[in-house]
Amino acid sequence: MNPSITRRAALQTAGAWLLASGAASLRAASFRPKRVLVVGAGIGGLCCAYELMEHGHEVTLLEASRRTGGHVKTIRDPLPAGLYADVGAEHFTNPGYDDYRRYVEKFDLPVLPWARRQNMYRKIDGQWFNESQLTDKTVLANLGFNAGEIRWIRERGWHELSMLYLSPYIAKFQDEYQPFGIGLDELDHQLLGDVLADAGLSTAAARFMGATERHQTPNQPTRSASALFKIWQAAIPQMRGLPAFKRDVFHLKGGNQLLPDTFATKLGDRVRRHSEVTAIEHHDSSVTVHFKQANTLHTLTADHLVLAVSPLVLPRIAITPAWPEAKAFALKNTPMGMQSRVLLVTRDAFWKDDVPSINLETGDAKMGLVYETAAEVPGARRVLMGSGQPVQTPEETIAAFRKFYPGKKPDTIEQCIVHQWWQEEPLALGCERLAFPFGQLKNIWPHLIAPVGRVHFVGAAFDNLPWGQDAATRSANRVARQIHAS
């Protein structure tokens, strides 16, 4: 295997397998079952293993922890009887999430609409605004938007504002997996605010679009992205026919873990839990995996290997030979977000008739969003949830909520749960992929998702748009097609 991959070669390889993925049938003309090892039983790994099994391949799935599902996780304990919360992946959309919804329909899983993005109440510059106010000309003008932006917001909605300025650039994209070669490559070294400086962009719009963020420096490691990255990420939903902001979201009744649990049941004893991979040897004709199970070392050899784990976990695994230079750079420099899931158990729905909505966009890092879950469960007790910092205490969380809560009624919080993944599952590092570092898109993409010989990559980090369960199931199907057609 070559010790490095040129960008041209990676683009050619990526283009070839993406084309094959979209066009090739899963029915090979001359079928020979392949032995495939899948590492990581999150929804991406489970989905890929299921697809390969369905098409006759010999699949073994190795999961380091005691459970399957990865970052799709529903908890009930210690919530009051009947209540539940998804402390990982929360929702899916329609339209969108095409592969995910195909399984929901195939397995006849119960779906509930979720009002968490309806009637949102937002805190901006210390003041709360409901959705009606954020279409009011006077309010928008006071926030600093110009006349053209105000007309656009009133006609199309707050979250479609970026399209006012990005549409001419988005129109250049022909392939959602290919951001290069369309005349925008130089924008990877420019900030979006600088690119749009002559387009009449107001300061308010620039701030809303994140166009004024500065790039990373050694002394100020802020997470930001180039204009090309931001435009590309905005182009992908447009190419799929999706709105920039999806109000209509859904979840599975009883919890989203229903889908990975269903995959695991279908796979049966092909799933080996408590199996932590320690080393991988990849060759031209096979892949060998070493793993620990019950403190005993085991070895398996297969035709292909699917790595369905976070880029943050891969450094724990010895790779022989080492990843090609371009792949190693992409994996090392792909930033992953980490956050706590915050739950507030309340004695009753104290917010009713007190605030316009409990769907809050707070601006507070300890609970940036607030919304109710499991609303269909009968009883007085309710669960509010949101996302917090990677490390915070229940006491800090309750104090933050009481500080930003916009109503006048006293709350009835009985319990606070701060779910931190790494405490229970040390290998569940990272969540969704963050923006690629400024100026590094060409050094990361498409190397990040390209296979290395017989080793393939699946999961929320390994697709063009990191939308959790959508990216995981999309990448799983893409890789299953590649392996089946190889």
Q: What is the mean pLDDT of the chain?
A: 92
Q: Are 458 and 479 in contact (CB under 8 A)?
A: yes
Say whether 449 sits in a helix, a strand or coil: coil
For residue 2, pLDDT over 70 is answered with no
> How much is the pLDDT for 299?
98
> How much is the pLDDT for 288?
98
Residue 87's Cβ-side half-sphere holds a number of Cα atoms within 13 Å equal to 25
Q: Are 109 and 251 in contact (CB under 8 A)?
A: no
Check whether the bond before 260 is cis (ω within 30° of 0).
no
> How much is the pLDDT for 12?
52
Closest CA to 384 of 353, 360, 409: 360
Q: Quick one: 385 exposed, middle or buried, by C-beta within 10 A (0-12, 13-18, 19+)?
A: buried
Q: Are 394 and 383 in contact (CB under 8 A)?
A: no
> How much is the pLDDT for 15?
52
User: What number does CATH give the domain 7-25+34-70+257-335+443-485?
Assistant: 3.50.50.60
Mean pLDDT, range 179-208, rounded to an integer = 95
Confidence of residue 421 (pLDDT cuts 50, 70, 90): confident
> How much is the pLDDT for 158?
86
> How much is the pLDDT for 216?
44
For residue 239, pLDDT over 90 is answered with yes
DSSP character for 323?
A: P
Mean pLDDT, range 242-269, rounded to an integer = 96
Mean pLDDT, range 197-218, rounded to an integer = 79
pLDDT digits (tens, 9 = 90+) for 125-157: 999 999 999 999 999 999 999 999 999 999 998
- Lowest average pLDDT, out of 337-341, 391-395, 427-431, goes to 427-431
Closest CA to 382 of 409, 420, 339, 413: 413
Distance CA 150, CA 207 (A): 15
For residue 266, pLDDT over 60 is answered with yes
Closest CA to 427 of 27, 63, 97, 122: 63
pLDDT digits (tens, 9 = 90+) for 392-404: 999 999 999 999 9
For residue 28, pLDDT over 60 is answered with no
Written as six digits, the tokens of 120 are 């949102």
Confidence of residue 217 (pLDDT cuts 50, 70, 90): very low
What torsion, rounded to 10 degrees, do the Cα atoms 48, 421, 471, 228 define?
A: -140
Give span(s): CATH 3.50.50.60, the chain.
7-25+34-70+257-335+443-485
pLDDT digits (tens, 9 = 90+) for 310-327: 999 999 999 999 999 999
